[in-house]
Homo-oligomer: A and B are copies of this chain.
């Protein structure tokens, strides 16, 4: 049986292909020479909130928009091979990463792998059994405060030995209630080019 979601995605893709036009000639290096690191959250559309057309900028996304080793791998490739020279770190209000800590996640997974329930304060597993201990060995990169996490992440990138000092790194928090990007001045200051 074909998935309803697959059918919907294929239908949407067919419409996109029909109007693709001149985009077939876009070059690989980002035309506007910048990159955004942001969260995977479904409410965020970086192309819309930052005004990106296809071909403009690299977009790196993970849970939280964190400066993980893998995000840094991507940013170093973005600059070293494809020429971006300004980077944004953009976390957001009401992020799921604020609702748990490493211990909670590891214990939930230890018990059961299916989706947990959240009552506004605590997580619980509706089902039990079939869990896995591997969650205890993963750093989940949770967040206590968005302003702090943006600052931490800008600092981690700024201080990474493979990141040139002349790339400015800007820190922002996206407000999911308004769509607005609010600068974290302390982070942008910490990420300034030398």
Contact = CB atoms under 8 A, between A and B. Distances in A.
Interface of A: 3, 5-6, 8-13, 15-17, 20, 23-24, 26, 28-35, 40-45, 47-52, 54-63, 68-71, 73-74, 76-83, 85-86, 88, 94, 96-97, 99-100, 105, 108-109, 113-116, 118, 123, 130, 132, 134-135, 138-141, 161-164, 168, 170, 176-181
Contacts of A68: 70, 73
A40 B48 contact: no
Contacts of A29: 42
B54 A94 contact: no
A7 to B, nearest CB: 11
A45 B47 contact: yes
Contacts of A86: 3, 5-6
Nearest to A100: B81
A34 B47 CA distance: 19
